[in-house]
């Protein structure tokens, strides 16, 4: 019998890579995505890699009757909930849109899981829930959370709270918050990858778009921070490693006899500065990147990276790909996109 896993936002960046990772382990992903923030190119790429068309429902996760019909059509083994808005700046401009989609969507999915007794649930959370780390820059799951800087951050923070309150009322559920650090890279086939709509906010898409000529110049947001070269430090995690972490999470949850709620960091455990990312890009692609040093970006965390012990002990998962792998795969994806254009 097929082990159906509902993947909301399955045509998006992390979702599409997770669809591949699930399929590789024998699960049957059922994608729900209304393509407001996804692209047909990625869907075609998925079909090419898989050799068949994945199951897809073009539905808004906030539409209760359409979602109920999907829950009626499959016996879901679990749910991985990606579908959400994720641009920090936009969330400041359109907070209600963020709260509506990210929180109403989550509540809708959890309600249907309760109604249909689908026990296993993985939530796309973020290291943004830690805010700016106080003493040590390496954060573990017990590091106290801080109040977020943006409505986007609040949707992850409140999302975790909703899940926690739900668990108190329904302790038989198996729930996991995966706190992602900075997802980067693409599938090594260059058939799927990140597809930023409009000007990218995140670093690596901006780097590759600058190198290909879609952007004129990368601005490094500050080089006067108290870090080893003055630029901010992040924990960049290859999207295929991140995708595989979701499969490990589902495999962990399905083994549990009792209900559980866990938060797990998904990062490499190593921090890399913005300037180091640029150096890696220049080395891997053997070209100079056009960049300039600009002012700090408001709300930026100075330095944060994962303590990655719990993911290893609880999920038997750890990152296996390097920042070099991620940069090479992101660049090959940019080149492939450019050929299609
Ligand atoms: C951002 C969000 C975070 C969210 C994540 C989703 C903020 C403050 N945080 O994380 O909540 O979960 O995206 O992917 O926006 N940089 C440049 N020039 C650029 C772009 C980025 O120097 O053009 C620097 C940033 O200052 C930062 C690093 O690159 O130091 C990474 O930035 P980004 O990719 O936007 O990720 P985060 O800020 O870590």
**125-157 pLDDT tens trace:** 999 999 888 888 999 999 999 988 899 999 999
Span 90-133, pLDDT tens digits? 999 999 999 999 999 999 999 999 999 999 999 999 999 998 88
Rounded to 5 degrees, φ, ψ at 160 are -65, -35
What does the alpha-carbon distance between residue 198 and residue 212 come to, in Å, rounded to a whole number? 15
d(CA 178, CA 304): 16
- β-pairing verdict for 305-306 and 76-81: unpaired
Query: Which of 27, 98, 152, 291 is labelled catalytic?
Result: 152
pLDDT at residue 136 in the model:
85
Residues of the chain with pLDDT under 50: none
Residues within a 6 A CB radius of ligand 1:
86, 88, 126, 128, 153, 182, 201-203, 206, 218-221, 232, 234, 274, 297, 299-300
Domain boundaries, the chain: 3-185+237-267
Question: Is domain 3-185+237-267 in CATH 3.40.50.720, yes or no?
Answer: yes
Could you confirm whether 152 is annotated as catalytic? Answer: yes
> Burial of 226 by CB count in 10 Å (0-12 exposed, 13-18 middle, 19+ buried)?
exposed
Beta-bridge partners for 247: none
pLDDT score at 341: 67
Nearest CA to ligand 1 atom 15: 88
Question: What is the enclosing helix (H) or strand (E) of 14?
Answer: helix 13-24
- Pocket test of ligand 1: the residue of 9, 219, 220, 221 to mutate, having most ligand atoms within 8 Å of its CB, is 221
The atom number, within ligand 1, closest to the CA of 301 reads 8
Please give the Cα distance from 276 to 296 (Å, whole number): 17
Whole-Å CA distances, 99 to 9, 25, 154, 158, 178: 17, 34, 9, 10, 20
Nearest C-alpha to atom 22 of ligand 1 is from which residue?
A: 220
pTM for this model (two decimals): 0.97
What is the model's pLDDT at position 340?
A: 79
């Amino acid at each position: 019998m097929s082990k159906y896993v509902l993947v909301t936002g399955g045509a998006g960046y992390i979702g599409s890579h997770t669809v591949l990772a699930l399929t590789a382990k024998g699960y049957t992903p059922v994608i729900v995505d209304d393509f407001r923030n996804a692209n047909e190119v990625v869907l075609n790429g998925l079909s090419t890699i898989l050799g068949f068309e994945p199951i897809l429902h073009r539905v808004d996760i906030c539409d209760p009757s359409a979602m109920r019909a999907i829950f009626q059509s499959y016996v879901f083994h679990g749910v991985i909930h990606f579908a959400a808005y994720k641009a920090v700046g936009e969330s400041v401009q359109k907070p209600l849109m963020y709260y509506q989609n990210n929180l109403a969507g989550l509540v809708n999915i959890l309600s249907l899981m309760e109604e249909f007794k689908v026990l296993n649930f993985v939530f796309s959370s973020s290291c943004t829930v830690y805010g700016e780390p106080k003493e040590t820059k390496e954060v573990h799951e017990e590091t106290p959370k801080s109040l977020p800087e943006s409505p986007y951050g609040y949707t992850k923070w409140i999302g975790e709270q909703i899940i926690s309150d739900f668990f108190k009322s329904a302790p038989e559920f198996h729930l996991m918050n995966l706190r992602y650090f900075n997802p980067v890279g693409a599938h090594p086939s260059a058939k799927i990858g990140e597809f930023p709509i409009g000007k990218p906010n995140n670093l690596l898409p901006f780097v590759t778009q600058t190198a290909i000529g879609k952007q004129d110049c990368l601005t490094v947001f500050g080089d006067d921070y108290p870090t080893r070269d003055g630029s901010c430090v992040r924990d960049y995690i290859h999207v295929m490693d991140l995708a595989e972490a979701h499969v490990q999470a589902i495999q962990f949850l399905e083994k549990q006899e009792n209900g559980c709620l866990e938060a797990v960091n998904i990062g490499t455990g190593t921090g890399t500065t913005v300037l180091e990312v640029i150096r890696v890009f220049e080395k891997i692609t053997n070209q100079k990147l056009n960049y300039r040093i600009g002012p700090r970006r408001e709300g930026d965390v100075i330095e944060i990276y994962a303590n990655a012990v719990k993911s290893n002990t609880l999920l038997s998962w750890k990152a296996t790909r390097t920042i070099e792998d991620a940069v090479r795969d992101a660049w090959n994806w940019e080149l492939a996109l450019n050929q299609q254009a």
